[in-house]
Amino acid sequence: MNQDHGGSGASLSVLSPTAILGYGFPEASLARGLARRPQAIAVDAGSTDPGPYYLGAGKSFTSRKAVKRDLSLMLRGALDLGIPLLVGSAGGAGAAPHLAWTREILLELAREGSLRFRLGVIPADIPPATLKAALRTGRVRPMPCAPALTEADVDASAHLVAQMGHEPLVAALDAGAQVVLCGRAYDPGPFAAPAIRAGFDPGLSLHMGKILECAAIAATPGSGSDCVLATLRGDGFELETLSEARAFTTVSAAAHSLYEKSDPYELPGPGGSLDLRHTAYQDLGGGRVRVSGTRFSPAPYTVKVEGARKVGHRTISIAGVRDPILIGQVDAVLEAVRKQVLASTGSDARVLFHVYGKDGVMGPLEPRRDAPAHELGIVIEAVHAEPAEADTVCSLVRSTLLHYGYPGRISTAGNLALLYSPSDVSCGEVYEFSVYHLLEVDDPRALFPVRLEEVGP
């Protein structure tokens, strides 16, 4: 820790280079952050935001080239300063293939740069038998809007991961890891772990992590591809950007504290929740903001478990509609086309229409249904276990809608302006979340063993 010569005691600084590993950042911003000699560099590498595909397929939603570039600069900076580098939710979804993929990039960087360090690897995969045993004893409950979990859901999942809290990361640091590579992790965890390990308040440490995990998105103008620095003291933490193009404001910091939250006062996580009822945001000038008053409220320890199962293959076609007569009755026409194609083929494919300009974003939750657009974008989607069947059904829905004789139709030309030729695009495998539940645990470290290895010459 650094000693704060302002008289408020010990301080600890954490550098967050980017919102997601692989999103990039200016090298000049990173250099400014390193010059401040932080005590840790941390980065979140994953999210469920891109949906279940990447967990189910075992693939990253960021490119290998971009991840290697970001890691090379972070790793070199951390080793030069002799500080830890912590990576959460490796490979995007944090399952075994994602963890192995990111570890190989680190080993490649070590070989190419003749780098030496102790690596702590923390898997987050949950054995199906473990989850099913907990289900039988009533220690699993659904997240809001998720159905009750069944053993069949568990067995159908291609991968199962749990969001580790900060405790396994602290254990890795205690064991001397200079680089900590995690499977699926609670987003604030990698940022909070060094601070909690050093004895700082858990509420302030986790709130700092909540903001840092998105880096400069929490500044103004926001960016997911720029660096920020936070300095934690005994009674609060200070936020600052590392680019003259951005600044923290009390509004931007407070707004980001509400990010991805359904309750403005409580943010649940492993082992409890952040209580923001007494949180205060103070403008320090120069684009810096001080945050204080956040507290951690302990609760029975739970971790969120995520699983994804394959449900088939997807084929889509993208088209535009500008006829006001069709636009005025588009829902009825699309439903008629769906029924006609499925009846004529006898197919059990799922046929979906995403109508942009009407309710393509919010679907049935869209409140503005009295202001029709002058044009609509329609994404036709067919999903089936067999790729060829998805292709067939999508092509028949597209051709049927193209020439459908709806009431009031005057022209005998096509109803659709098709964006591409070929018009139909096979999108490959489709996954859905099969597990999105909370698992009660007695020991926050038991499911997440730390594996140490010496890397380099």
Task: Give residue 152's identity as a one-letter amino acid code.
Answer: A
Q: Which letter does DSSP use for residue 348 in this model?
A: -
Q: What span, in angstroms and rounded, lies between the C-alpha atoms of 121 and 391?
A: 42
pLDDT confidence of residue 52: 97
Do 383 and 449 have their domain in common?
A: no
In a domain? residue 283: yes
* pLDDT score of 1: 45
**Are 205 and 70 found together in one domain?**
yes
Please identify every stretch of the chain with a pLDDT value under 70, giving residue numbers as ranges: 1-8
Residues 269 and 321 in one domain: no
Tokens representing residue 161 in the block? 């991961």
Q: Let me know if residue 132 belongs to a domain.
A: no
339 and 269, same structural domain?
Answer: no
pLDDT of residue 337: 98
Whether 252 and 355 share a structural domain: no
pLDDT 10s digits, 95-148: 999 999 999 999 999 999 999 999 999 999 999 999 999 999 999 999 988 999
Burial per residue of 143-166, b for 16 or more beta-carbon CB atoms within 10 angstroms, e otherwise = eeeeeebeeebbebbbbbbbbbbb
Give pLDDT, residue 339.
97
Q: What is the pLDDT of residue 378?
A: 97
CB 316 within 8 A of CB 427: yes
- Looking at the structure, tell me whether residues 335 and 277 fall in a common domain: no
72 inside domain: yes
CATH of the domain at 382: 3.30.70
Handedness of CA 23, 28, 13, 452 (dihedral sign): positive
| 140, part of any domain | no
Same domain, 275 and 234: yes
Q: Is 239 helix (H, G, I), strand (E, B) or coil?
A: strand
Is 291 part of a structural domain of the chain?
yes
The DSSP output letter for 278 is T
Residue 154 lies in a domain: no
Whether 264 and 342 map to the same domain: the answer is: no
Whether 280 and 379 map to the same domain: the answer is no
Do the domain assignments include residue 139?
no
For residues 26 and 39, give the distance between their C-alpha atoms in angstroms, rounded to a whole number: 20
Domain membership of residue 148 (yes or no) is: no
What's the predicted TM-score (pTM) here? 0.93
CA nearest 382: which of 415, 330, 416, 430? 430
CB contact at 8 A, 194 and 40:
yes
- If asked whether residues 365 and 426 sit together in one domain, one would say yes
Asked if residue 410 and residue 261 are part of one domain, the reply reads no
* Domains identified in the chain, total number: 2
Amino acid 7: pLDDT: 33
**How many angstroms separate the CA atoms of 284 and 230, rounded?**
13
Q: Using alpha carbons, list the distances in angstroms from residue 52 to 263, 323, 397, 429.
A: 24, 36, 26, 11
Q: Which domain holds residue 71?
A: 2-124+163-301+441-455
Residue 321 and residue 234 share a domain: no
**Cβ 456 vs Cβ 148: under 8 Å:** no
Length of the chain: 457
Rounded Cα distance between 170 and 157, Å, is 30
